[in-house]
Chain A
Amino acid sequence: MTGLSSYLFFGTFAAYVISAVLYVARITLRRRDEKHFELADRLGAYGFKVATAGVVLHAAAIAARWIASGQVPMSNMYEYMSFLGWSVMLFFVIISFWYKLPALGAFVAPVGVIVIAYASVFPTQVKPLVPALQSYWLPLHVSTAALGEGAFAVSFGAAVMYLLRVRKEHSEPWEEKALEFFFYVSTLLIGFLVVALGFKLGGYEVALTNIGQGNGTILYTLPPFFGPIGSSPGDASFLGMSLPFFTAPTWMNGIDAPKKLNTLVWTIMAGTLIYGLLRVIAKGPLRELGSRAVAGMNPKLLDEVSYRGIAVGFPIFTLGAIVFAMIWAQKAWGSYWQWDPKETWALISWLFYSGYLHMRIVRGWEGRAAAWVAALGWVLILFTLVGVNLLISGLHSYAA
């Protein structure tokens, strides 16, 4: 069954990638010439079918894993991220039923792909649960929160489209820079995924001596440009280079800090390379490419879809990330609120989205300002899920 689940998961991944490619191809063709419209629309329709098939396959993969392991597959980062990817694509399919906006696929399906790819960076073994995690509130809390976050992802896609659509008419210099930065950050994510998955498939591993934080070693899964204190050139090699070139500065004394630094360096190198390549292909800033892709779309509809994603997601997110989280915390720690960093960041995102909802009913604050908030909201969500684990850690042992 675990084997079956892996095959299904792989099929799902392929389906999401194909769907994303079809949607991007559709939007590209449409920009060319009216005579391609029909072909483009057919590609869009296929993209939708493949995405729907992916969602069904993915549900089967999750169910198979559940049956095989006998525990709800919601107990480590791999399982959690995979579920998040499912919920992104699920809400994309649902919202596509409600609105005639196939172009959304070119912006949301890639988000689903990135989330799933990120899931596969984590170890996939089923591990039995330690006592702190043995509670049905845990899967209830994280799955409900992830469902809400999936709906927010659709809102994010539509908000970015809206911002690209209206930028020619109104935007200010800082907005231009911020939009371009959005694209850059996305390529960083892609860069990280390409590198991490590439070396994972290649089976690259090297253990380096670490005298910085206690004695011992750190296991690197990427070639170490930056080694821990105590390592020296020649400990590892890659493409004939004698690595590590540098050791991490001494003030970086967190657990695995040299490894995180090394990953960051790799991410920036790969991401910047991809960004540069895309710029060459696009013959200009990526936001221009994006704007060309959404030219001619109805900004009102983009705005409405972006709002709808949050409207649908907000109650679910409230239930999962706030209500269930507080109940679980009360059961597990004896206190419904501990100001644990993960908890705090969930609250921050929730307050931020509440702010968005109130902005929409203040005249003059809807429109672009609100769209920025909708787009940034998902960045906060990503930070809550990923950034908090990397940069700050807390009671959420499950995240480690």
Chain B
Amino acid sequence: MDEMGVAPVAAAEEEIQTAETRKPGKDILDRTWDFFASVPVATVLLFVIAAASVGGSLIEQESMLSTVQAPGDYYAARYGPVMGTVLFKTGMTHMYSSWWYLTLLFMLGISLIICSLERFVPLWKAVQRPNPAPDEGFVRHLKNHFSFRPHQADAPMVALAEALKARRYRVVEKDGRLYADKGRWGRWGPYITHIGLILVLVGAMMRAIPGAYFDQFIWVRDGEIVKVPNTDFFIQSEKFVAEFYDSGAPKLYKTEARILDGEGKELLRHDIVMNEPLTFRWVELYQSSFKQELGKAIVSLNERESGKEIGTFELDLLQPKPMYEVGGYKIRVVDYFPDFGLDSAGKPTSKSSQVNNPGVVAEITTPDGNSFTNWYFVMYPEMEFDPSIPVKFKTLDMGVVSTTGLTVKMDLGVPVIYLGLLIVTLGTFATFYIPHRRYWAMVEGPKVLVGGWTNRNQGSLVSEMQRLGHALDPKTNPLADQMEGEER
């Protein structure tokens, strides 16, 4: 490797690398190392991962399926028995977690680490410890040059040093020679980028650490207090709010939430809306769903004959109280079916725990001690099993209760990933927006010869050199035209 790091770096490095790889007598470890340190290998790996990722976006992935069939059967039906089975068995239907996709990512990670290690020291020497007075032939062989006649023959470099310092160059003079450079960060840019990417991969792998990741879902009814899974605290939804635009499109979904400890003490009060999760002790609660169900009914008890109202009470449809008292009458809830239906044997049952068609079996005791039992269907009060009893229920009003659906997540890898992403961003901007430029100057007869080098944007270096040369010695260096795109 050229210790100056002067030849258009990596291309020259690569030649040496591949030549070395083929040297006989290297053991398997060395060869593995060289394999992962090689840029051609990295390039191929990048294209292969890109191509592999296409597959998963075209073939329906298991995680996106919404079917009652077993995935194996589903794919056989969807893509034909042979093709479907092949896809399913080779992991094409869960691509991004299949062993071979993960292997590719793992290889990328190893490659990133090895090539960073491999090149760190040489780059450090080339960029941070440059030789200000290299061989004269080296300066003459640089791609770009200009020369000028110094005004002060005894101090030929003074004007050049001034001009370069004004352009924020770091200038070193040694043995009558001058070296100047700027934009060293630009050279470190790719390494910074690679380190950031390693961090992102590490952050993603942290999901595999026990206790560092979980993903749960909870329903919380208005007013209810629910334990947040995998934690020691509780969440209460004071109210779920859904608002809509005039067009009917949704405008806002919000849960007014409180975090409580085991004793019921409030630890935090915060609204949860989409895109703004609630964060508490590394756990995040996301607004992700809601449902609205019948929650209560205002019921009146009436005398059947006269229709006279005896009194009203509020029936809790989510969890009826065991006993209600109205005007001296006692109403005992014997049985309750929130979603009434009949099973195959014709027996009453609740089809679900949702309040869809609430049915109550009530035992009514009159003030003088007579009891009757009857069914009461909140939504269909006229449907009675025993219309002979002297009292009758009537539904005056029904109210809905909202239940918010919250995703509960913890992922300790996220801060690591964010840090990695920040570093990647800084690294890529440094790489492409900070060119590393360097000059070597030496006295050659009556003139000073200046050679310039840059790692990118040759054109800007050339025009900077023209302007420098012109400012120092207009006669030798007239201003020329830029590189032309077209022949005249």
Contact = CB atoms under 8 A, between A and B. Distances in A.
Interface of A: 30, 37, 98-104, 127-128, 130-132, 134-135, 137, 296-298, 301-302, 304, 308, 311-312, 314-315, 318-319, 322-323, 326-328, 330-337, 339, 341, 344-345, 347-348, 351-352, 354-355, 358-359, 361-363, 365, 388, 392
Nearest to B482: A100
Given A311-B456, A348-B50, A131 B273 contact: yes
Contacts of B81: none
A30 B329 CA distance: 103
Contacts of B250: 130-131
3 A-B pairs with the lowest CB-CB distances in the bound complex, closest first: A101-B485, A135-B275, A315-B428
Nearest to A318: B428
Contact of B425 (A323, A328, A339, A352): A323
A101 B486 CA distance: 7
B417 interface: yes
Interface string B233-259: 000000000000101011111000000
Given A323-B425, A334-B409, A298 B284 contact: no
A362 B46 contact: no
Contacts of B245: 128
A242 to B, nearest CB: 37
Contacts of A354: 46
Interface string B29-46: 000000000011011001
A55 B418 CA distance: 34
B428 A361 contact: no
B195 to A, nearest CB: 15
B458 interface: yes
B134 to A, nearest CB: 23
A301 B457 CA distance: 11
B276 A331 contact: yes
B318 interface: no
Q: What's the dominant secondary structure at chain A's contact region?
A: helix
B275 A332 contact: yes
Interface residues of B, number: 67
Contact of B61 (A37, A103, A339): A339
B274 A134 contact: yes
Contacts of A322: 421, 424
A363 B11 contact: yes
7 contacts: A315-B428, A318-B425, A331-B275, A332-B274, A344-B57, A351-B50, A361-B10
B432 interface: yes
B459 interface: yes
Most chain A CB within 10 A, of B46, B61, B418, B456, is at B46
Contacts of B54: 348
Given A37-B488, A99-B459, A348-B53, 6 more contacts: A128-B245, A128-B247, A315-B425, A323-B422, A335-B409, A339-B56
Given A128-B249, A296-B487, A344-B53, A327 B273 contact: no
Most chain B CB within 10 A, of A104, A302, A362, A365, is at A362
A326 B284 CA distance: 16
A284 B383 CA distance: 84
B43 A355 contact: yes
Given A330-B414, A358-B39, A362-B11, A297 B485 contact: yes
Contact of B484 (A100, A319, A335): A100
Contacts of A323: 421-422, 424-425
Given A99-B485, A358-B43, A365-B40, A308 B457 contact: yes
Interface in B364-421: 407, 409, 411, 414, 417-418, 421
A311 B433 CA distance: 8
B58 interface: yes
Contacts of B65: none
Contacts of B433: 315
B57 A345 contact: yes
B43 A365 contact: yes
A352 B45 CA distance: 10
B429 interface: yes
A332 B251 CA distance: 16
A362 B43 CA distance: 9
Contacts of A311: 432, 456
A298 B428 contact: no
B286 interface: yes
B251 A315 contact: no
A326 B421 contact: yes
Contacts of A362: 10-11, 14, 39-40, 43
A103 B486 contact: yes
Contacts of A333: 286
A298 B486 contact: yes
Given A99-B485, A296-B487, A331 B277 contact: yes
Contacts of B252: 131
